[in-house]
Chains A and B, each alone.
Chain A
Amino acid sequence: MSEPWRDTRDPMAERQRIIRHRNLALALVLVFFVVMFFAITVVKMRNPHLPSPRAGTAAAASASEGTSHGR
């Protein structure tokens, strides 16, 4: 009679399965980053008035002055 509580899976096969899943997850993360950077680039190119990282707070404030919704 078999012992259902005992893990009978082959350790090497299990190791391969875990590594395969990790590689797949990593690939998905990389694809996500590629898509995200592409989208960010498109947004920045379409909206040249958006503040660049170096522009600082003053530029940010002035650039978005038109869309400000002060109470």
Chain B
Amino acid sequence: MLPAQAQLQPADWRDFYALTKPRVMSLVIFTGLCGLLAAPQTIDPVLGFTAIFCIALAAGGAAALNQWWEADLDAGMKRTRARPLPAGRMERHSARDFGVALSVTAVLVMALAIGWLAAAILVVSILYYAVVYTIWLKPRTPQNIVIGGGAGAFPPLIGWVAATGHVTLMPVLLFAIIFLWTPPHFWALALFVQSDYAKVGIPMMPVVAGEPATRRQILAYTLVLLPVTLAPWWIGGAGAIYGVAALLLSLGFVGLALPVGLRRRATPEDAMRPERRLFSFSILYLFLLFAALVADHWWTLFGART
């Protein structure tokens, strides 16, 4: 239950800002921007900014709806206890209304300024995160992260569609990369915060299937991710800069996943160091992979001419 303290003060603007999960949003903005910049067609900078702004707004809206729905669970976890709702700094309906307002605004602006296809995919991404993942999957199945990972995979697809106006194999591959990257990324985190999830009854993989099974799956997903990250190069959607970067980064990812996947349990003295290392690298991995994609595209456009 949420703390029963009286709402003495109205919520501060910073609390509304915190509802949007700004740190998660930075990754969403980055991958969306990369999708937009790596697309084979150019877009006017103002419209490009608008598209990324709408993606960020939608991500913020979905995050607010997620926190509105999970306020009770957040109150039971150390990591999320200080959020505006469990801390009692905001009324619950304010978070819901804020989330709906952001989401609706994002979709309308995207539809009017960019196009209905990008707006339609934006709607799907919001519903995927707020309804399919938060309400349906997360409390029910340890596969919640696998399927729910799709929510975070939409930004590059939307960015690409905003620039080109249509869906091709390349943006689908970018979607697949983030989709497959999410389980090892999140389960590495879940391994060292598993007691928190267990306390509030969220069936995260380490809680339900146990640590050894989670470790095996982290390794399996990392191995499957390797050829998928190379696929844009194979199909000719990206050049050698991306191909070499993807190969090196993926080998590094697999290299860090091996010590996590091949041991059954962490020893008390290592403080989950391999898991923490894998989690930290996974964030860097995604940033560098998408940066390489854009760098490769720009090299093809501008560098090769000089």
Contacts and interface: CB of A to CB of B under 8 A. Distances in A.
A binds B: yes
B44 A60 contact: no
A40 B113 CA distance: 7
A39 B44 CA distance: 11
Interface residues of A, number: 30
Interface string B46-64: 1100100100000000000
Interface string A40-71: 10110001001101111101110010011111
B115 interface: yes
Interface stretch (B9-17, B198-206, B255-263): B9-17
Interface string B1-37: 0000000111111000000000000000000000000
Contacts of A68: 40-41
Contacts of B9: 11, 14-15, 18
Most central of B8, B113, B164 by chain A CB within 10 Å = B113
Interface residues of B, number: 31
B12 A60 contact: no
B239 A71 contact: yes
Contact of A40 (B47, B116, B119, B164): B47
Contact of A64 (B8, B12, B113, B164): B164
Most central of A14, A47, A57, A60 by chain B CB within 10 Å = A60
A57 B115 CA distance: 9
Nearest to A59: B165
Interface of B: 8-13, 40-42, 44, 46-47, 50, 53, 109, 111-117, 119, 164-166, 236-237, 239, 300-301
Interface of A: 11, 14-15, 18-19, 21-22, 25, 36, 39-40, 42-43, 47, 50-51, 53-57, 59-61, 64, 67-71
A35 to B, nearest CB: 10
Contacts of A40: 46-47, 50, 113
